[in-house]
Amino acid sequence: MKRIKSGLVLLTLLAAPFVATTVKAQGDLLLTPRRIIFDGNKRTQEVNLANTGKDTATYLVSVVEIRMLEDGRFEEILQPDANQNFASKYLRFFPRTVKLGPNEAQSVKIQLTKAGELAAGEYRSHIYFRPLKNAAPLGEEQKPADPKDISVKIVPVVGLSIPVIIRVGDYDAGVSISDVALDTEGEKPTLKMTFNRSGNMSVYGDVVVDHVTPDGKTSQVGLIKGIAVYTPNERRQLLMQLDKKISGSNGKLHITYRPQPEDKVSKLKPVFAETDHKLN
């Protein structure tokens, strides 16, 4: 009887994680910037890849299409949802394979093409960087296979992706915050909220939570950078843990959702949305 050695093949896609950095990191790969936006006359931009590991690594560069779920998770799709536009057919990128030695860096150029064919609105796809794994480390002896065994090798494939967004026409997006609730159980309180997006473009920014006492004293108790609500989603739920317990039960929480300073949108809309949550 043949013996079967079970295993697992893993594929992980990380898209736009909500961490407070301008650099994305997974394993030994660093990417800068964390997102590419074409919203002016510029037709070429670059993504910098850096290998921080001790071994040479090779990465395949491709495009994936992603749907954002209401809870902020992502899933890969093949066809756009209603009112969702893919950017991939208007993009060209090179090289498609990047080989980096330890502590080496290289740029991948992303070029906007056929811009004259674009109607007003937003187009989004994600550039995906997938590492190629060697069959066996150099110097490792290959053991002969036992013909009585059937094995499935565990092959973890972990990559990174960043969104590439094309904006055409005037920026059209609005946001409101609703369904705010505070859970004070546990060491640190947890704040729940829902972002309601309108218009034909995505929003992306930082969420700041301040505690305001009855006599007007303000202190920051929460911050999350890089929260997106991508088209065509109209709602995005957020669960955030506050930095510390709120002393006393009076006053209010002031919640602000604002674009990041480097985004051109910040000049048009310094604040996407803000609201107060009274403490009982």
CATH number of the domain residue 200 falls in = 2.60.40.10
Query: Quick one: 69 and 11 in the same domain?
Result: yes
What long-range pairs does 263-269 form, CB within 8 A, spacing at least 24? Answer: 263/37, 263/204, 263/205, 264/37, 264/39, 264/40, 265/171, 268/171, 269/171
Query: Quick one: 23 and 104 in the same domain?
Result: yes
Sole residue written with tokens 């009982």 = 280
Give me the domain span that covers residue 220.
173-278
* Domain-terminating residue out of 168, 194, 217: 168
The one-digit pLDDT tens for each residue of the chain (280 residues) are: 444 333 333 333 444 333 333 355 556 899 999 999 999 888 999 999 999 999 999 999 999 999 999 999 999 999 999 999 999 999 999 999 999 999 999 999 999 999 989 999 999 999 999 998 754 444 444 555 565 656 555 555 578 999 999 999 999 999 999 999 999 887 889 999 999 999 999 999 999 999 999 988 999 999 999 999 999 999 999 999 998 877 666 899 999 999 999 899 999 999 999 999 999 7
Query: Quick one: 194 and 161 in the same domain?
Result: no
Q: Is the dihedral of CA 35, 39, 40, 44 positive or negative?
A: positive
Query: Quick one: 78 and 156 in the same domain?
Result: yes
Task: Tell me the pTM.
Answer: 0.81
Structure letter (DSSP) for residue 125: E
